[in-house]
Structure 1
Amino acid sequence: MYAVLDVETTGLFNKDRVIEIAIAHVDGDGRVTGRWETLVNPKRDLGPQELHGIRSADVRKAPTFDQVAGEILHRLRGRIPVAHNLAFDSRLLAHEYLRLGQELPNLLDLGVCTMQWANYFLPESGRSLRDCCLAAGIANERPHAAMSDVLATAELLALYLNSMGPEALWADRAALVRELRWPTLPTGLAKPVCRGAGANEGTDFLARLVDHIPRVPDPPQADTYLSLLDRALLDRHVSAAESDALVEAAARLGIGRPTALELHGGYLRALAAVALADGEVTEEERQDLHRVAALLSLPTHAVGAALQPGPADGPLTTGHEFHLASGDLVVLTGSFAESKQHWADRLEAAGLKVAPNVTKKTVLVVAADPDSMSGKAAKARQYDIPVIGTESLDLVLARIR
């Protein structure tokens, strides 16, 4: 009878995009009878991530809206639409369909907005979903996660239904929604992708390399891979985008898993040689080597072996370490929890120059999310410019020469 929905978006305006949608089917008694959710790849920056908590690592392999538009229609068709602030959800959805050249029926006219009806059923409550849930004793464990908000809204709907007589105040809308004309779009074009799907992609790139291919024949191929690896490890974090780039480079260069492990070992030994150069390895240097070893899927004892004096076991990889220099151009991108000016001041205080746009002269991009899909981040990757998150900035700034 009902289709309870919620969307998370890049912002509040018509130009903004849907990045997560959840729909639950609810019967006339308020029982949930089915549920569906997916992240949506907007092919752009994700907006206020501190609010919705969605990371680019999850969204980058999610379907685009056109790939799930038919599935959404299928799950809404013939049901009374319900949302907490239905005006917002229906408006953002309508504009997504307009981008596809399709027009949705006016969901607001025949839908149920639990926020508006709260004035009737929860007169002492505030209007937000949080306030309504608190007033009704409903737990919403993950606010601003679409399915969690949908299930909380479904509980509100059930409370409203149970507060009425045998027939809901809006029961007449059920027949009307069945007569609405909906666009017809194909379903089954893509599988849903939920939050957390990309959580481990950055750390397991070695596992994605092919086991049995011929050993890389000449150093230039190894140098290309190691140069990319060094840029990925600049902030001691391998993002999902960097993981993909390393896997693609290895496949293109004919580097399989055994060869990659050998190259990774050489890279670690080169870092260890730098740490040993002054005759003393600090605890900070040792911890850094352990971080790198973990990112390279090397065993914990590899650090101890690399720090042992004497001839190296295998080739020593040198000449690849990436450093920043005073005066280098850096670009900021994304919606930061702090202001962009805050980060610009940090960078300039360290001797770097902050530029508005990415060019081939840019040395580094600092993003609110290291997997950012903004235009600036995309251009940086096209130019092989490292993209790092603010969490790693102190580590990177400490290496300025």
Structure 2
Amino acid sequence: MLEDQTARPDGMSPHIPAQPAAEAPRPHTWPEGYPDGYAVVDVETTGLARDDRIVSAAVYRLDAHGEVEDHWYTPVNPQRDPGPTWIHGLTSEALADAPLFPEIADDFAARLRGRVLVAHNAIFDWSMIAREYARAQLEAPVRQRLCTIALSKELALPLPNHKLESLAAHYGVVQQQAHHALDDARVLAEAFRPSLHLAASQEVRLPLLACQPLSEWSDAVVPRGGGGAPGGGGMSGSYGRSWRPSRKRPACPYPNPGRYEPEGRLVQGMRVAISGDTSVDRDLLEDRAIEAGLHIATSVSRLTSLLVTNDPDSPTSKVVKARSFGTPVIDEAAFSQLLQDVAPAPER
């Protein structure tokens, strides 16, 4: 069931021919600090929720200058309804004999190791990959990711929107089979190369973000509404939602004591916001904070006591607001230490 085209210099499947892309001028000198290699990734999934599964995965390995080294593709048996078959085309019958994720985890990891993961809306692909590895009690060997949407914004490309087809059209890359993981990865690889050259020629700082592998996992099933039968055309309840649905939590019983004082203790009632990837599954980390008497906030305001993030330099809305409000920012490791000794709420 696995397809490995390592021997092919163009990295293409015989059934999906490469298309010429408009190239940006290659810079005379390459910026120091740019990565040594990239893994352009696309995964198709059963849906967008935190309990959804990968049904196919593809990787194009690129060298430091964005040239294709090889590619790899595999379907994956999700051990459940494959979800939106009208999108990815993979039915229960087609996936019945496909390998399970733990069976392809090592091959997948070998193509990711030592490289920057590149994807279109990379937080989604990375989150799905990290969760699959956590379920398999393994760790994905990825330490940085690069989102091509963020890179397009850094380069101020004149795109009508940030869809993959718009980026492909800008560089003259022709899509052969949309929402097939292998072809989507090919298209992205061909569009990423000229973007990378353009960034290098302008000495643009690449929007690299840290990837925090999950060390704990809670596979709470998200309720699905009115689902269609396996392989049918009914809309999957999770598809079209955020991949990480919000959970209704009880109100914090303690008043907000104000901002966290650096080097001090957390105090029950403090409002804590979390941004970006966490090494402990986000819901577990939030549950620990709530059990300690803290208030988990979904956004950052002037009342926020503390922001927890492993990417303090990322331009997310929470980080930007925290900086503008002067809200203290710490990483997950420091927050986990502070959770071990939370001060009781002051008497009213």
- What's the TM-score once normalised by structure 1's chain length? 0.42
- Whichever structure has more helix as a proportion of its residues is 1
- Structure number, greater radius of gyration: 1
- What's the TM-score once normalised by structure 2's chain length? 0.49
